[in-house]
Chains A and B, each alone.
Chain A
Amino acid sequence: MHVPSTVAARLPIASDMDLTWIRQYVRQVTAELGFGLVQQTKLVTAASELARNALVHGGGGEMEVTQVARGRVRGLRLVFSDSGPGIADTELALSDGYTSGGGLGLGLGGARRLVHEFTLDSRPGQGTTVTITAWASEPPAPRKAV
């Protein structure tokens, strides 16, 4: 798989297979951005939760990927959007253990804990957009001139 160094991609969320692909994609991009193993795993897991929510609760959608920088620290911003039924009570949806289906109710609240920045934007009938950002804990080591 080739991933360009400046990432700007949209990945569909329409099936189980797309979730697998999203996990692999986020793993690869975070590794390339110099995320540590734990940091990679956290973002991959959060992405998996939010993509599955978009699929299961939102009827499918997409993930938009943007590479961000804060000084020399690099990060990754992921936007999950769907045009499903939306969430009436976002605070309730974020609380651990709340599920409208047969889940554990850990996905939303858990994803929020796993990333550095988290925004949930949703209204009934308007779909749902969740934006998360995670930063590589340390700036990648500068390349030495040969």
Chain B
Amino acid sequence: MTRPLPAAAGTHVPVLTLDDVLLVTVQRNLDDRAAEWLRQDIARAVTESTATGVVIDVSGVEVVDSFLGRVLADIAPTVKLLAAQTVLAGIRPAVAVTLVELGLTLPGLRTALHIEQALRLVREPCGAHDDTNPRQGGV
């Protein structure tokens, strides 16, 4: 089942509901203000739904600097306080390489190669693979 959330006033990112998971697509060239809205919009979408997981699709994002990196890193703890899990999907290889050199390894953020894998991961019980999943804990 796929249905778009009603476009609530003040919501700036596209959010799709896939049963118990919210799928958030981050747009290609996000400015700083839109990046700041991202966390707020996701938090609002989680509280307004019954979702237990959030998948953030960043496959269209060509640049992650320290500002956007911090926004992304802050989303998972925020969503966790709202009783849901977060998985970041589709980081581009060039972005991953750059993030590591920048010194931003996004610890604590679960990542997946693509949305399919992310949907599987986000539906697993919290921390099921804490020690064994190589994609747990950042890029």
Q: Which residues of A contact B (CB under 8 A)?
A: 16-17, 19-20, 23-24, 27, 37-38, 40-42, 44-45, 48-49, 52, 96, 103-104, 106-107, 109-110, 113-114
Contacts and interface: CB of A to CB of B under 8 A. Distances in A.
Contacts of A27: 62-63
B78 interface: no
Interface stretch (B27-35, B38-46, B119-127, B129-137): B27-35
B66 A49 contact: yes
A103 B104 CA distance: 12
26 contacts: A17-B31, A20-B31, A24-B29, A37-B94, A38-B93, A38-B94, A38-B98, A41-B94, A41-B98, A42-B97, A42-B98, A42-B101, A45-B64, A45-B102, A48-B63, A52-B67, A103-B66, A104-B66, A104-B69, A106-B104, A107-B65, A107-B66, A110-B102, A110-B103, A113-B102, A114-B101
A23 B98 CA distance: 14
B95 interface: yes
B103 A44 contact: no
Given A42-B101, A49-B66, 14 more contacts: A27-B62, A38-B97, A40-B94, A41-B63, A42-B97, A44-B62, A45-B64, A45-B65, A45-B98, A49-B65, A104-B69, A110-B103, A110-B104, A113-B101
Given A16-B31, A20-B31, A23-B29, A114 B66 contact: no
A24 B92 CA distance: 17
A100 to B, nearest CB: 14
Interface size on B, as a range, is 20 to 34
Chain B binding surface, main DSSP class: helix
CB-based closest 6 A-B pairs: A110-B102, A41-B94, A48-B65, A16-B32, A38-B94, A20-B31
A40 B32 CA distance: 20
Contacts of A45: 63-65, 98, 102
A94 B106 CA distance: 20
B97 A41 contact: yes
Given A16-B32, A16-B33, A41-B97, A106 B63 contact: no
Contacts of B98: 38, 41-42, 45, 114
Contacts of B62: 27, 41, 44
A42 to B, nearest CB: 5
